[in-house]
Amino acid sequence: MTALPHAHAPTRIPGPAVARLALYLHVLRNYNLRGIAVVSSPQLATAAGVNPAILRKDLSYIGANGVRGVGYDVAKLIGRVSMALHTDDTHSVALAGAGRLGQALLAHTGVGRGFTVTALFDDDPALIGTTLSDGGPVVESLDTLALAGGWDIGVIATSDDRAQAACDAFLEAGVRQLLNVTATTLQVRLETPGVVIRQVDLALELQVLSFQAKHAPDRPTGSDANTGSEESGSAPSGSAAARYRETMTS
């Protein structure tokens, strides 16, 4: 926290840019694993399915340090984006709901992106006291959730009818950042300040998807190096984080 060595521009990062940066980070990590040390903005942009121009703009928000005529140092860029997204620090996550969805999440988030599930809650008596993954936390009763605390993020993956209870419990436990992957729309008391809730509803994504498909009209015109071909069409923004595909030109 506090002042960094060379805090370049205190520019406010646009919302959509944050989502894309997280996306770049993912792609960059893959490049790193494949041993690619340098990447250019056209390369990275096509890999992420965005315009090279907006990629450069996004990177400019976090003070990118690429080499003109060459590109970006992958490792260095990973560090920079991680820092901007606060992913260099590890966040502790509590997961409510140890059903299929919860278990999938447990495996999904453990990939190593700075998030560790340190607590697991469920109502199922058969699950309480057991461990779902190697080295993972022991499942506790949902009732005890509100009594504990100390997590940075709470993930709600319960059944729909228990989502609100889990939400209330998290708030009581002092958890302010919630990711809700149930189909329930959560209610938050007005008194509670600073709460950030993020909702991911897969059924909703299906609806948006099928709508986009029915209305995909014209292909985007790329003047830069973007050979944008398939897809796109409508939904210019939508969830920026929720619409990328690699288009590795042959």
Stretch that binds a copy of itself, among 58-66, 70-78, 91-99, 134-142 (CB under 8 A): 91-99
Out of 36, 37, 70, 200, the residue judged to bind DNA by CB under 7 A: 70
Please select the residue that binds a copy of itself; options are 9, 37, 138, 204, rule is CB under 8 A. Answer: 204
**How far is 227 from 43, CA to CA, in rounded Å?**
12
Reading the block at residue 241, the tokens are: 């984080």
Task: Work out which of 3, 16, 95, 118 binds a copy of itself, going by CB under 8 A.
Answer: 16
Work out whether 239 is an interface residue with DNA (CB under 7 A): no
Cα 11 to Cα 64: distance, rounded to the nearest angstrom: 13
Q: Is 194 in the site for a copy of itself (CB under 8 A)?
A: yes
Cα(213)–Cα(153) distance, integer angstroms: 34
Q: Tell me how far apart the alpha carbons of residues 25 and 39 are, in angstroms, rounded to a whole number.
A: 13
DSSP 8-state symbol, 238:
S
Site for a copy of itself in 221-250 (CB under 8 A): 227, 229-231, 233-250
Beta strands at 91-96 and 153-156: parallel, antiparallel or unpaired: parallel
Tokens of 192: 């509670």
Q: Residue 170: which residues within 8 A CB-CB, separation 6 or more?
A: 94, 96, 145, 146, 154, 156, 178
Q: Which is nearer to DNA, 49 or 102 (CB)?
A: 49
22: its two tokens = 């997280």
Q: Measured from the CB of residue 54, what is the shortest distance to a copy of itself in angstroms?
A: 14
* For a copy of itself, the closer CB: 67 or 200: 200
Instruction: Kindly tell me which of 64 and 180 has the beta carbon lying closer to a copy of itself.
Output: 180
Q: How would you class 150 by CB atoms within 10 Å of its CB: exposed for 0-12, middle for 13-18, buried for 19 or more?
A: exposed
Considering the rule CB under 7 A, would residue 83 count as an interface residue with DNA? no
Whose CA is closest to 128, among 106, 100, 97?
97
Binding footprint of a copy of itself, residue count (CB under 8 A): 95
Q: From the CB of residue 249, how many other CB atoms can be counted at a distance below 10 Å?
A: 9
For residues 58 and 44, is the Cβ–Cβ distance under 8 A? no
Q: Which stretch binds a copy of itself (CB under 8 A): 11-19, 72-80, 119-127, 139-147?
A: 11-19
- Residue 220 binds: one of a copy of itself, DNA, none (C-beta under 5 to 8 A by kind): DNA
Site for DNA in 3-62 (CB under 7 A): 14-17, 40-42, 50-54, 56-57, 59-60
Task: Output the six-digit token pair for 12.
Answer: 């406010």
Q: Tell whether residue 63 is a contact of a copy of itself (CB under 8 A).
A: no
Binding-site ranges for DNA (CB under 7 A):
14-17, 40-42, 50-54, 56-57, 59-60, 64-72, 220-225, 235-237, 240
